[in-house]
Amino acid sequence: MNWGVLLFPGSNCAEDCFHVIDSVLGEPVRYLWHKDTDLGQLDAIILPGGFSYGDHLRPGAIAHLSPAMTAVKAFAEKGGLVIGICNGFQILTEARMLPGSLLQNKGLKFLCQDQTLKVENASTAFTSEYETGDVIICPIAHNEGNYYAKSETIAEMERNGQVLFRYCDPQGLVNDSTNPNGSINSIAGIINRQGNVVGMMPHPERSSDSVLGLSAGKGVFVSMIKHIQTLNS
Protein backbone atom coordinates (compact mmCIF):
# COMPACT_ATOMS: atom_id res chain seq x y z
CA MET A 1 0.00 0.00 0.00
CA ASN A 2 1.27 3.47 -0.91
CA TRP A 3 1.43 6.10 1.82
CA GLY A 4 2.00 9.82 1.49
CA VAL A 5 2.97 12.19 4.30
CA LEU A 6 2.05 15.76 3.44
CA LEU A 7 4.79 18.22 4.31
CA PHE A 8 3.84 21.81 5.10
CA PRO A 9 6.38 24.40 6.17
CA GLY A 10 6.42 23.95 9.93
CA SER A 11 5.26 20.31 9.99
CA ASN A 12 7.27 18.81 12.86
CA CYS A 13 5.92 15.31 12.94
CA ALA A 14 6.23 14.42 9.26
CA GLU A 15 9.50 12.56 9.85
CA ASP A 16 7.96 10.71 12.78
CA CYS A 17 5.03 9.48 10.68
CA PHE A 18 7.41 8.61 7.85
CA HIS A 19 9.60 6.67 10.30
CA VAL A 20 6.68 4.59 11.59
CA ILE A 21 5.30 3.74 8.15
CA ASP A 22 8.74 3.07 6.68
CA SER A 23 10.88 1.60 9.45
CA VAL A 24 8.34 0.16 11.89
CA LEU A 25 5.71 -1.10 9.44
CA GLY A 26 7.90 -1.54 6.36
CA GLU A 27 5.40 0.04 3.99
CA PRO A 28 6.21 2.19 0.95
CA VAL A 29 5.91 5.87 1.85
CA ARG A 30 6.92 9.21 0.36
CA TYR A 31 6.64 12.88 1.24
CA LEU A 32 4.11 15.10 -0.50
CA TRP A 33 4.96 18.79 -0.85
CA HIS A 34 2.40 21.45 0.06
CA LYS A 35 2.87 23.22 -3.28
CA ASP A 36 2.13 20.08 -5.33
CA THR A 37 -1.21 19.79 -7.07
CA ASP A 38 -0.73 16.24 -8.38
CA LEU A 39 -0.04 13.83 -5.53
CA GLY A 40 0.35 10.71 -7.70
CA GLN A 41 -0.90 7.21 -6.91
CA LEU A 42 -1.68 6.77 -3.21
CA ASP A 43 -3.77 4.62 -0.87
CA ALA A 44 -3.54 6.81 2.24
CA ILE A 45 -2.45 10.31 3.17
CA ILE A 46 -1.21 11.44 6.58
CA LEU A 47 -1.48 15.11 7.54
CA PRO A 48 1.16 15.20 10.29
CA GLY A 49 1.37 17.25 13.45
CA GLY A 50 3.38 20.40 13.92
CA PHE A 51 2.92 24.09 13.44
CA SER A 52 2.13 24.49 9.75
CA TYR A 53 2.90 28.07 8.73
CA GLY A 54 3.84 28.73 12.35
CA ASP A 55 0.17 28.44 13.38
CA HIS A 56 -0.07 32.04 12.23
CA LEU A 57 -3.63 33.35 12.40
CA ARG A 58 -5.00 30.03 13.72
CA PRO A 59 -3.71 26.47 13.65
CA GLY A 60 -4.40 25.07 10.20
CA ALA A 61 -5.90 28.31 8.90
CA ILE A 62 -3.24 28.88 6.25
CA ALA A 63 -2.32 25.25 5.56
CA HIS A 64 -5.84 24.33 4.45
CA LEU A 65 -5.53 26.86 1.60
CA SER A 66 -2.33 25.31 0.21
CA PRO A 67 -2.45 23.80 -3.31
CA ALA A 68 -1.91 20.25 -2.04
CA MET A 69 -5.06 20.41 0.08
CA THR A 70 -7.20 20.73 -3.05
CA ALA A 71 -5.69 17.44 -4.17
CA VAL A 72 -6.22 15.90 -0.72
CA LYS A 73 -9.91 16.83 -0.86
CA ALA A 74 -10.26 15.29 -4.31
CA PHE A 75 -8.48 12.15 -3.04
CA ALA A 76 -10.86 11.90 -0.08
CA GLU A 77 -13.91 12.47 -2.23
CA LYS A 78 -12.90 9.41 -4.22
CA GLY A 79 -12.80 7.43 -0.99
CA GLY A 80 -9.05 7.60 -0.25
CA LEU A 81 -8.00 7.24 3.39
CA VAL A 82 -6.90 10.46 5.06
CA ILE A 83 -5.75 10.81 8.65
CA GLY A 84 -4.92 14.14 10.26
CA ILE A 85 -2.95 13.96 13.50
CA CYS A 86 -2.80 16.93 15.87
CA ASN A 87 -2.12 19.89 13.57
CA GLY A 88 -3.36 17.63 10.76
CA PHE A 89 -6.70 17.35 12.58
CA GLN A 90 -6.81 21.14 12.92
CA ILE A 91 -6.16 21.48 9.19
CA LEU A 92 -8.95 19.01 8.36
CA THR A 93 -11.48 21.01 10.41
CA GLU A 94 -10.32 24.27 8.83
CA ALA A 95 -10.75 22.60 5.42
CA ARG A 96 -14.27 21.51 6.51
CA MET A 97 -13.36 17.93 5.73
CA LEU A 98 -14.34 17.21 9.33
CA PRO A 99 -16.90 19.06 11.47
CA GLY A 100 -16.13 21.28 14.45
CA SER A 101 -12.96 23.02 15.46
CA LEU A 102 -10.14 22.86 17.97
CA LEU A 103 -10.02 25.61 20.59
CA GLN A 104 -7.33 26.40 23.09
CA ASN A 105 -6.94 23.90 25.95
CA LYS A 106 -9.08 24.72 28.95
CA GLY A 107 -5.92 25.04 31.07
CA LEU A 108 -4.59 27.65 28.62
CA LYS A 109 -1.28 25.81 28.43
CA PHE A 110 0.46 23.48 26.03
CA LEU A 111 0.06 19.93 27.25
CA CYS A 112 2.51 17.14 26.50
CA GLN A 113 1.82 13.86 28.29
CA ASP A 114 1.04 10.19 27.90
CA GLN A 115 -2.71 10.00 27.49
CA THR A 116 -5.10 7.12 27.91
CA LEU A 117 -7.82 6.89 25.27
CA LYS A 118 -10.93 4.79 25.05
CA VAL A 119 -11.69 3.27 21.67
CA GLU A 120 -15.34 4.08 21.00
CA ASN A 121 -15.88 2.49 17.60
CA ALA A 122 -13.71 -0.38 16.47
CA SER A 123 -15.57 -1.05 13.25
CA THR A 124 -13.87 1.51 11.02
CA ALA A 125 -10.99 1.40 8.56
CA PHE A 126 -8.81 3.10 11.17
CA THR A 127 -9.69 1.13 14.30
CA SER A 128 -10.39 -2.48 13.29
CA GLU A 129 -7.30 -3.66 15.18
CA TYR A 130 -8.96 -2.67 18.46
CA GLU A 131 -12.05 -3.79 20.36
CA THR A 132 -14.62 -1.17 21.23
CA GLY A 133 -13.94 -0.21 24.85
CA ASP A 134 -10.17 -0.84 24.65
CA VAL A 135 -8.01 1.62 26.59
CA ILE A 136 -4.81 2.59 24.80
CA ILE A 137 -1.99 5.05 25.51
CA CYS A 138 -1.27 7.69 22.88
CA PRO A 139 0.75 10.79 23.84
CA ILE A 140 -0.78 14.19 23.32
CA ALA A 141 1.18 17.40 22.66
CA HIS A 142 -0.95 20.40 21.84
CA ASN A 143 -2.10 23.84 22.84
CA GLU A 144 -5.33 23.83 20.82
CA GLY A 145 -6.91 20.44 21.27
CA ASN A 146 -10.17 21.42 22.90
CA TYR A 147 -12.69 19.95 20.44
CA TYR A 148 -15.82 21.97 19.90
CA ALA A 149 -18.86 21.64 17.64
CA LYS A 150 -22.48 22.71 17.79
CA SER A 151 -24.62 20.49 19.98
CA GLU A 152 -26.65 19.20 17.00
CA THR A 153 -23.42 18.24 15.25
CA ILE A 154 -22.14 16.47 18.37
CA ALA A 155 -25.42 14.62 18.80
CA GLU A 156 -25.35 13.52 15.18
CA MET A 157 -21.76 12.34 15.40
CA GLU A 158 -22.48 10.43 18.59
CA ARG A 159 -25.51 8.78 16.92
CA ASN A 160 -23.50 7.79 13.88
CA GLY A 161 -20.57 6.35 15.80
CA GLN A 162 -18.28 9.04 14.44
CA VAL A 163 -16.49 9.50 17.74
CA LEU A 164 -13.52 7.13 17.54
CA PHE A 165 -11.53 8.00 20.66
CA ARG A 166 -12.30 9.66 23.98
CA TYR A 167 -9.90 10.84 26.68
CA CYS A 168 -10.19 8.64 29.75
CA ASP A 169 -8.24 7.42 32.77
CA PRO A 170 -6.32 4.11 32.82
CA GLN A 171 -9.51 2.31 33.89
CA GLY A 172 -11.44 3.72 30.96
CA LEU A 173 -13.38 6.24 33.02
CA VAL A 174 -14.56 9.20 30.95
CA ASN A 175 -15.48 12.36 32.82
CA ASP A 176 -14.40 15.96 33.33
CA SER A 177 -11.50 15.00 35.57
CA THR A 178 -10.06 12.65 32.92
CA ASN A 179 -10.48 15.20 30.15
CA PRO A 180 -7.14 17.00 29.67
CA ASN A 181 -8.19 19.86 27.43
CA GLY A 182 -11.91 20.52 27.82
CA SER A 183 -13.10 18.81 24.61
CA ILE A 184 -16.85 18.33 24.40
CA ASN A 185 -17.76 14.78 25.42
CA SER A 186 -14.01 14.19 25.94
CA ILE A 187 -13.66 13.75 22.19
CA ALA A 188 -10.09 12.95 21.11
CA GLY A 189 -10.67 11.69 17.59
CA ILE A 190 -13.48 11.61 15.01
CA ILE A 191 -14.29 10.15 11.60
CA ASN A 192 -16.39 11.60 8.77
CA ARG A 193 -19.74 10.13 7.73
CA GLN A 194 -18.18 8.34 4.76
CA GLY A 195 -15.69 6.62 7.06
CA ASN A 196 -12.50 7.55 5.21
CA VAL A 197 -11.30 10.77 6.89
CA VAL A 198 -10.08 10.76 10.49
CA GLY A 199 -8.80 13.54 12.71
CA MET A 200 -7.29 12.95 16.13
CA MET A 201 -5.34 15.11 18.57
CA PRO A 202 -3.33 12.27 20.17
CA HIS A 203 -0.28 11.02 18.29
CA PRO A 204 -0.63 7.35 17.35
CA GLU A 205 2.79 7.49 15.63
CA ARG A 206 4.43 8.32 18.97
CA SER A 207 2.91 5.15 20.34
CA SER A 208 4.12 2.87 17.54
CA ASP A 209 7.84 2.26 18.04
CA SER A 210 8.25 -0.08 21.00
CA VAL A 211 11.80 1.17 21.69
CA LEU A 212 10.12 4.26 23.13
CA GLY A 213 8.01 2.18 25.49
CA LEU A 214 4.60 2.55 23.81
CA SER A 215 3.05 0.67 20.90
CA ALA A 216 -0.75 0.73 21.19
CA GLY A 217 -1.12 3.51 18.63
CA LYS A 218 0.29 1.32 15.88
CA GLY A 219 -3.14 -0.30 15.59
CA VAL A 220 -4.41 2.77 13.76
CA PHE A 221 -1.92 2.33 10.93
CA VAL A 222 -2.22 -1.47 10.89
CA SER A 223 -6.03 -1.14 10.63
CA MET A 224 -5.56 1.11 7.61
CA ILE A 225 -3.18 -1.38 5.98
CA LYS A 226 -5.60 -4.26 6.51
CA HIS A 227 -8.47 -2.19 5.13
CA ILE A 228 -6.57 -1.46 1.93
CA GLN A 229 -5.46 -5.11 1.66
CA THR A 230 -9.11 -6.22 1.90
CA LEU A 231 -10.13 -3.71 -0.76
CA ASN A 232 -7.38 -4.90 -3.08
CA SER A 233 -7.93 -8.62 -2.57
Partner 1 sequence: MTKKKADMEENLWRKAGLTDSEYELLTKHMGRAPNVVELALYAQMWSEHCGYTHTRPLFKHFLTTGPRIVQGPGENAGIVDIDDDEVITFKLESHNHPSAIAPFQGAATGVGGIIRDILAMGAYPIASLNSLHFGHPGAKGHTRWLISEVIHGIGEYGNCVGVPTVGGEVRFSNAYKGNPLVNAMCVGFMKKSEIKKAIATGVGNSLMIVGNLTGRDGMGGASFASKDLEDENDEDRGAIQVGDPFMEKLLIEACLEVFAEDYVVGVQDMGAAGILSSSVETASKAGNGVEIDVALVPKREEKMRPEEVMISESQERMLLIVKKGMEEKVNKIFHKWDLHAVVIGQVTDDGFYRVLEDGKTVGEVPVWSLMDAPTYVLEGKEPAHLAETLKFKNEDVEIPKDLNDVLLKLLASPDICSKTWVYRQYDHRVQMNTVVKPGSDAAIVRIKGRDKAIGITMDSNGRYCYLNPKRGAMSIVAESARNQVVSGAEPIAITDGLNFGNPEKPDVYFQLEQTIIGLSEACRALNTPVIGGNASLYNQTPEFGSIYPTPIIGMTGLVKSLAHVTTMEFKAAGDFIVLVGETKDELGASEYLDRIHGLVTGDVPELDLELEADTQKYILETIRSGWIKSAHDVGDGGLAVSLAESCIQGKLGAVVTLDTDLRSDSLLFGESQTRFLLSVAEENLDQVINEAASRGIEAAVIGRATQEPIITIHNNGLKLVDVSLDDCSNAFNNAFDLLMKADA
203 is catalytic: yes
Q: Which stretch binds partner 1 (CB under 8 A): 37-45, 94-102, 108-116, 188-196?
A: 108-116
Q: Nearest distance from residue 20's CB to partner 1, in Å?
A: 8
Q: Which stretch binds partner 1 (CB under 8 A): 126-134, 163-171, 184-192, 210-218?
A: 210-218
Binding flag, residue 213, partner 1 (CB under 8 A): yes
Nearer to partner 1, 14 or 122 (CB): 14
**Exposed (0-12), middle (13-18) or buried (19+): which is 163, by Cβ within 10 Å?**
buried
Q: Nearest distance from residue 51's CB to partner 1, in Å?
A: 4
Nearer to partner 1, 13 or 157 (CB): 13
Answer yes or no: are the C-beta atoms of 29 and 3 closer than 8 Å: yes
Label the pairing between strands 81-85 and 44-47.
Answer: parallel
Among 65, 212, 229, 230, binds partner 1 (CB under 8 A): 212
Binding flag, residue 203, partner 1 (CB under 8 A): yes
Q: What is the DSSP string of 18-64?
A: HHIIIIIT---EEEEETT-S---S-SEEEE--B-GGGG-SSTTTTGG
Answer yes or no: are the C-beta atoms of 172 and 118 closer than 8 Å: yes
Q: Which residues contact 156 (CB under 8 A, 6 or more apart)?
A: 162
86 is catalytic: yes
DSSP 102: E
Binding flag, residue 12, partner 1 (CB under 8 A): yes
205 is catalytic: yes
Over the window 30 to 59, marking each residue x when it contacts partner 1 by CB under 8 A and - when it does not, the resulting string is -------------------xxx-xxxx---
Active site positions, annotated: 86, 203, 205
